[in-house]
Copies of this chain bind each other. A is one copy, B any other.
Amino acid sequence: MGTARSRLLAAALDLFMRHGVSGTSLQMIADELGVTKAAVYHQFHSKEDIVEAVIAPALAELEAVADAAEAQRRRNDRLRVALEGVVDLVVRHRGLFAMIMTDPQVGRLVRSRPPLRGLEERIEAVLTGPEPDAETLVNSAMVSGALMVAGLDPRLAGLDDETLRRHLTATVFRMLHVRRRATS
């Protein structure tokens, strides 16, 4: 079963994805675990703390992806590393990124925390490059949305990680005109 804390986070994530963050009350989380609200407050001091703990691991991984992408010398390699990294995260965490991107409350929280602030911008900068034209701007926005929804759509829930990863990668590369192989 894991620790009380990890069971709480798992239940919270499930409810957040099904009802949204502001649509999920602490009472719902407590009911899901079969305990009272006060027991929830023993683990986390506020609802915001819960949201933060739920998204923290994925954001840390996203930061590592940004680091790895920015370290590449060639633009095509930066794109390739960023896209492969983000696809991998989306596949492994499925709905979590959809929750982060679509829920306005989560968005505010992410943007208010200094270490995370700018992470979005770093990824976007890798995808678009400096001074992007309209087409590049539109396409990179579309990639975000396309990946986000891929982790959410119930029709894709039955696909295994490897199949989903392969098709996602192929299509985002096609969207942004990225060459498939690393530059030798």
Which residues does A use to contact B, with CB under 8 Å? Answer: 18-20, 22-23, 98, 101-105, 124, 134-135, 137-139, 141-150, 152-153, 155-156, 159, 163-164, 167-168, 170-171, 174-175
A119 to chain B, nearest CB (A): 16
Chain A contact residues: helix, strand, loop or mixed: helix
In Å, the complex CA distance between A103 and B21 comes to 10
Given contacts A138-B159, A142-B171, 7 further A-B contacts (CB under 8 A): A102-B102, A135-B170, A137-B159, A141-B153, A142-B147, A142-B149, A144-B149
Q: B149 touching A145 by the CB < 8 A rule?
A: yes
In Å, the complex CA distance between A142 and B143 comes to 8
Q: B138 touching A171 by the CB < 8 A rule?
A: yes
Q: A135 touching B167 by the CB < 8 A rule?
A: yes
